[in-house]
Amino acid sequence: MKLILLGPPGGGKGTVAKKLRAEFNIPIISTGVILREAVDKKNKLGIEVENIMRKGSLVPDHIVMEIIKERIKQEDCKNGYIFDGFPRNIEQANSLEKLNKELNEYIDYVFYFEIPFSEIIKRLSNRRVCRKCSTNYNLVFNPPKKDNTCDICNGELYQREDDKEETIQHRLEVFAKQTAPLKKYYKEKKLLKVIDANLSKNAFLAIKKILQGMHK
């Protein structure tokens, strides 16, 4: 079972990916996580990635693909995996297809999380994080019992820079330009399933139902 979760930042992909991992016992592959792991390994590739990231530049696609190739060859991926937010653009999608052909394995489904940008701005701009224990809150959906104070450790809550409205707008513009075209790309390959992502619980249940149908 090899899956891709696509959708705008704040669309709930990460939350659903964790539920799918628990339900089907397959790992999540997030490019951000595996790039950080590569840096931690301090090998030749990791040092190259660290130098690029330190400059604030994007890691080139060929390096991302090299790291992904090594990751999906690992033992825990033999029964499948979940790509969270990858590929990010058409070029990466083409590279992934070439890699799949090389390894003789193929993506089963691409789930596209459909959600209005106005809802994402509302979600993310109301997100607050505890400085001490990093617990997430949402002032609309999941507010703390006491203003600006963590329920768990009484730490101070703050708004991350990338959760400020102007930053969110920029991230959504980048998504619309680079990643949204993948919806058409995967629809043409008959892999696409569009999921209503307004509620992450409903998104998970919809995906779970489709995946359980694979084994009937």
**Active-site residue set:** 13, 88, 127, 160, 171
d(CA 109, CA 149): 41
d(CA 177, CA 172): 9
Among 101, 72, 90, which Cα is nearest to 3's?
Answer: 72
| β-pair type (157-158, 127-130) | antiparallel
In the chain, what are the helix, strand and coil shares in percent, each to the nearest 5? 50, 15, 30
CB 135, CB 129: distance < 8 Å: yes
Among 119, 79, 132, 90, which Cα is nearest to 203's?
Answer: 119
CB 179, CB 6: distance < 8 Å: yes
